[in-house]
Amino acid sequence: MAHDVHRDRRMETRTSYLGFSLPHPFIAGASPFGHRLDTVKKLEDAGCAAIVLHSLFEEQITAAAAGHIHHRNILEAESAEVVAQFPDATEYPMSPDDYVEHVYRVKRAVSIPVVGSLNGASAEAWLKFARVIEEAGADALELNLYGLVTSFSASSAAVEGQIASLVRELKALLRIPVAVKLSPYFTAFASLARQLDAAGADGLVLFNRFYQPDIDIKTMELSPLVDLATSTELRLRLRWLAVLYGRVRPSLVVTGGVVTPDDGIKAILAGADAVQLVSGLLRHGPAHVQQMLAGLERWMAWHKFETLDDVRGRVSHAHHSDAEMAERAGYIRTLQSWGR
């Protein structure tokens, strides 16, 4: 209901993401809100412009379909140590089949675009499951390529080539748009973005948060933590949005560190087409999306901006002929400003 009201009233915040025309840029990123129909409905009722469901993992799909996780048979004794590190099938919120059913139900329950999410790292048979998610009615797919390359022999060019071919393969399977959620830890991220553009990616989701485990010095074991994001994480995203804006075809969406209305405005100024919220919604509840939108509208009115297109990318490298030089100059200036 609230959703329809601001759709009519706030046309100036309209944006396009993955080819969908959205009344405003704030969408719900992948999170536990996606687990249940009622919480997904709450996101729509609160006014989220689209929703990304939680991920279905490569490991879940291969374990259910072929009885293996990363080529290790889950029933064999010699695989037990590796397999035991992964959650048991019952620990995931839903099985692959249930996920498909869930997508189908969610699509019938809400009218905003619904983005399914696959989370994996290899271009193997599991990817075909994307077709099933598409057939269940997902409007788009987000592919979360979460992987830490610890190999001492894989070159960065080879790793990037694998990522691009995975995206190419997925695009060949699907008709719906594909957004790729990536980590920022690449030597030449702009070149990777170009490769993904050439591979057909429709959106780039910047960036995955790495859940870096801490060390518990009492037990001398790793202590994995899911801590919610703060605005300081946004800076890295702002930098890369600013570099990519206007230089690649895929839509740019930010995830990570957009917590306050000011954060949302900064992301759009840097070049974001859409803004994903997770920590903000988990902390303050789905209605937080209204604070984000009201803040953006107030700011646009203050600056007399009529459309979001007038705002997007205003603080990006699109206006610099040499982004590398601008970054280097900014770095030196920042160091020199200490103590002034």
Ligand X SMILES: Cc1cc2nc3c(=O)[nH]c(=O)nc-3n(C[C@H](O)[C@H](O)[C@H](O)COP(=O)(O)O)c2cc1C
Which residues in 299-321 are b (16+ Cβ under 10 Å) and which e?
A: bbeeeebeebeebbbebbbbeee
Q: Is 257 in the site for ligand X (CB under 6 A)?
A: yes
229 binds ligand X (CB under 6 A): yes
Q: How far is the CB of 111 from ligand X (least distance, A)?
A: 22
Q: Which is nearer to ligand X, 94 or 149 (CB)?
A: 94
**Of 9-17, 25-33, 107-115, 150-158, which part binds ligand X (CB under 6 A)?**
25-33
Contact between 119 and ligand X (CB under 6 A)? yes
Q: Where are the alpha helices (DSSP H) in the chain?
A: 2-9, 37-46, 58-66, 80-84, 96-109, 129-135, 156-173, 189-198, 234-244, 261-270, 279-284, 288-302, 308-311, 323-336
Cα–Cα distance between 119 and 107 in angstroms, integer?
Answer: 20
Helix (H) or strand (E) holding 116: strand 114-119
- Indicate the residue type of 136: A
Contact between 69 and ligand X by CB under 6 A: the answer reads no
Among 15, 62, 144, 195, binds ligand X (CB under 6 A): 144
Q: Is 316 in the site for ligand X (CB under 6 A)?
A: no
Helices (H), 23-89: 37-46, 58-66, 80-84
Nearest to ligand X of 279, 316 (CB atom): 279
Among residues 6, 209, 266, 312, which is the contact residue for ligand X, using CB under 6 A?
209
> Quick one: how far is CA 71 from the chain centroid?
27
Does position 28 interact with ligand X (CB under 6 A)? The reply is no
Q: Is 179 in the site for ligand X (CB under 6 A)?
A: no
Binds ligand X by CB under 6 A, chosen from 18, 22, 27, 30? 30
Q: Does 145 bind ligand X (CB under 6 A)?
A: no
What is d(CA 8, CA 19) in angstroms, rounded to the nearest whole number?
A: 20
Q: Which is nearer to ligand X, 210 or 331 (CB)?
A: 210
Among 40, 140, 163, 278, the residue binding ligand X under the rule CB under 6 A is: 278
Two structure tokens written together for 333: 């200036």
Residue written as token pair 């996780």: 69
Please pick, from the candidates 15, 60, 62, 279, the single residue that binds ligand X as defined by CB under 6 A: 279
**Minimum separation from the CB atom of position 278 to ligand X (A):** 3
Stretch that binds ligand X, among 16-24, 193-201, 221-229, 322-330 (CB under 6 A): 221-229
Candidates 17-25, 28-36, 184-192, 330-338: pick the segment binding ligand X (CB under 6 A).
28-36
Tokens for 102?
């869930």
Q: Which stretch binds ligand X (CB under 6 A): 193-201, 250-258, 305-313, 324-332?
A: 250-258
CA distance 191 to 215: 35
CB 250 within 8 A of CB 204: yes
Q: Report the DSSP pairing between strands 68-69 and 72-73.
A: antiparallel
Q: How many residues bind ligand X (CB under 6 A)?
A: 22
251 binds ligand X (CB under 6 A): no
Q: State which residue, 54 or 266, has the beta carbon closest to ligand X.
A: 54
Site string for ligand X, 44-63 (x = CB under 6 A): ----------xx--------
Listed residue (209, 181, 185) closest to 196, CA to CA: 181
Give the residues lining the site for ligand X (CB under 6 A).
29-32, 54-55, 117, 119, 144, 181, 209, 226, 228-229, 255-258, 277-280
